[in-house]
Structure 1
Amino acid sequence: MDRITWPRLRDDLASTRRGAAAFLQNLDAAHTTSSTEWFIRWIEIGDAHGILGNAKRREGKIDEAAMAWLCALTAFEVAKRLTTETAVQGEDASVKIASAIKTFGSLEQKIECVQIECYDQSEIQAHYLPADSCSKAPAIICISAEDETATTLLGRLLPAAAHRGMSVLAVTYDDISGNRRGQSNETLSCCLDYLSTRPDIDATRIGVYGDGIASALATDLAVSDSRVAAAVCDGGLWNWARTRAAVEWVTGVSEAQNEEVIAARRLRLIRRLRCPVLVMAGGRGVVSISEAIRLQNACAAAKMDLQLGIPRTTITDVGEVENFVISDDRIFRWLEQKLLLGSAV
């Protein structure tokens, strides 16, 4: 372990997340230490933060208690990344995360469970985290990846979203997606309706963030609903890739068009988006890095507001581990600047 040391308990959220990011960044240097050992250490760190949070709560220091539990969530999320999907440790980490979210949500009711009525009279359940400010704040609709529960999504996003002056509405992919064409757009538009009617939300500053395959749903919403002010999405590349694959399958030949023609088609798709866009390529996303770079170059030439983020990953004995801390902080920093500050990243 020449370039990595055992992670330490840190007494504030920024330090905890910097430590977690540094650990994940240098995970390839930890080959002499098993993922199980790292898992145990990060669970211990999360538990220590939880003990501190409970102590602060008993002292009536609610803000400090909330900070400690956000640190615990970051530590437990790191631990979860160090297990396989079928490992018992992964289930243990998920239980820890669920318990930490419940405790954090009990602190002055920071997390609300809300029911959103859809146009077909059905309802979906969502989790709402209000902004720190009492004035009208921007809001973000966050859609989980296909294999994520609301608890999994919240456990990862709460520490990244906290104290940024923005509200968060978390929904799951399964609740949003449907077999009927256009149903996901309708359901997400209902989420926009809900946020727009809340007195604590500025209806002109609502963004959407889709994780994993949900990034395509975020694109569709931004295209279909002009109320979206910023989108973290796939920029239309997922549907673009599927369309190209379908054409090649039907014709039996690979598409042999020149790059100028292909670039023009990409731009036609992205021009339908009338808001700033951040495309996350690679990692847990569904977007090809090479296609995203081509799209970014085309948008730069056309003076369109599209930026590209590429998550950092490390290969370990449990597979590819993404540095979620850097990725999530990048996403929420971009959303904060687009929706709250109105400046370029």
Structure 2
Amino acid sequence: MEFGAWPHVRGDLASARQGASAFLDRLSAEEDRAETDRQNWVATWTKTGDAYCRLADLKINKRAFDEATEAWLCALTAFEVARRLVADNDPRSANVSAKVETGFQRIGSALGHKVESVQIACCDRDELLAYYLPASTPNSPAPAVICISSEEETGAMLLGRLLPVVIGRRMSVLVISYEDLENHSRGQSKVLLSSCFDYLSGRPDVDSTRIAVYGDGLSAVLATDFARYDRRIAAAVCDGGIWNWTRSLRSIGWITSTADGADKDLTPAYRSRLARQLNCPILVVACGRGIVGVSEAINLQADCTAARIDLELAMPQIMRGFPDGNVENFVTSDDCIFRWLEQKLAQDPAP
């Protein structure tokens, strides 16, 4: 298979992301050459990202700042492809991750898309580090999304991945790291996330009635708990309560033993009851980097449809067969998630 890098880097973000998505969709590895293929792909996509960085620097020197921004966003996309492919034990792993983490800093310092590092004060005198990217509509309050990284990513890595998706969507994002929440109890995590909501609602550039939460990976559980706890949330990308529901089933032996008819009748009602507690539109990401299985998500959606609960599914394309895990098409998945958020956070038309 070809390495999938573009023959000429032009700084066209739409083409760059289409190329990355097409590469990931075609991705496969023969077992006897998987490691060789992977090493070649990592090298090629890293070099492609570096080429976009050089193009961005040239555009900055020519004061073509919009074109430089687009080239940097192309670079972040290329580096993210490389990061998805590099093996954990590969010495290049830290280098590729660092390129993703620091990419947004170059965009902010050189091109005016200022990413703010903010310390959010909490009621227990604790502080939470977050990254804030304001919307591109400074003259009117815009919707905002609290984004929580997966357990495998830092907040900076998540922001680097999302920048090509969110810039230009006229919404603000506040990005926090899963590791900053995991050391707290789930009750404390909900309070910390409410402090994030308070911070956003206090900003003049944010519409406090249109603030959503998005939890990636295990953070989908935190997003569910938070949306259930704080009724101000306008939309949630989360697990829809599946993690808690499955854990409850296991704790009473419903999975390892045969449930009787009454239990089977109660299961749909219990699933939909957990989702109903969120009181906002829900998007559940099934499979992929999420923690929700496809069959569980489909059952949940059917139960919620019957109960007239606004719940939708996203099922990203997964490339299987790699020794240390599957590779997800993050390009289409992230685009899908933020299109959904954009739709749910849109202002209601005037009567």
TM-score band by shorter chain is over 0.9
| 1:64 counterpart residue number | 67
Structure 1 range deviating more: 142-151 or 173-182: 173-182
Q: Distance in 2 between matches of 1:164 and 1:49?
A: 22
Q: Distance in 2 between matches of 1:98 and 1:304?
A: 37
**Superposed displacement of residue 188, structure 1:** 0.2
| 1:337 counterpart residue number | 343
Q: Distance in 2 between matches of 1:100 and 1:189?
A: 29
| 1:39 counterpart residue number | 42
Q: Distance in 1 between matches of 2:56 and 2:210?
A: 33
Identify unmatched segments of 5+ residues in structure 1: none
**Superposed displacement of residue 270, structure 1:** 0.9
| 2:227 counterpart residue number | 222
CA contact (8 A) 1:115 1:125 kept: yes
CA contact (8 A) 2:4 2:19 kept: no
Q: Which amino acid aligns with 1:122?
A: D
- Cα distance per residue 1:36-70 (max 9 Å; x no partner): 11111111111111111111112222222111111
Q: Distance in 2 between matches of 1:244 and 1:332?
A: 32
Q: Distance in 2 between matches of 1:41 and 1:100?
A: 18
Distance 1:290 1:87, change over 3 A: same
**Superposed displacement of residue 99, structure 1:** 3.0
| 2:91 counterpart residue number | 88
| 1:232 counterpart residue number | 237
CA contact (8 A) 2:3 2:41 kept: no
- Cα distance per residue 1:55-102 (max 9 Å; x no partner): 111222222211111110000000111111221122221122233222
| 1:325 counterpart residue number | 331
Q: Distance in 2 between matches of 1:121 and 1:271?
A: 33
| 2:14 counterpart residue number | 14
Mapping for residues 1-345 of structure 1, pairs under 5 Å = 1=1, 6-8=4-6, 9-28=9-28, 34-106=37-109, 107-134=111-138, 135-248=140-253, 253-257=257-261, 258-318=263-323, 319-340=325-346
Distance 1:151 1:112, change over 3 A: same
CA contact (8 A) 2:29 2:37 kept: no
| 1:340 counterpart SS class | coil
- Cα distance per residue 1:120-158 (max 9 Å; x no partner): 111111000111111211000000112211122112111
**Superposed displacement of residue 301, structure 1:** 1.8
Structure 1 range deviating more: 188-197 or 47-56: 47-56
Q: Distance in 2 between matches of 1:71 and 1:342?
A: 33
Distance 1:41 1:255, change over 3 A: same
Structure 1 range deviating more: 270-279 or 62-71: 62-71
**Superposed displacement of residue 7, structure 1:** 2.5
CA contact (8 A) 2:215 2:237 kept: yes
CA contact (8 A) 1:166 1:340 kept: no
Distance 1:340 1:220, change over 3 A: same
Identify unmatched segments of 5+ residues in structure 2: none
TM-score (norm 1): 0.93
Q: Distance in 1 between matches of 2:270 and 2:309?
A: 15
Q: Distance in 2 between matches of 1:144 and 1:5?
A: 28
TM-score (norm 2): 0.91
CA contact (8 A) 2:3 2:44 kept: no
CA contact (8 A) 1:111 1:127 kept: yes
Q: Distance in 1 between matches of 2:108 and 2:258?
A: 52
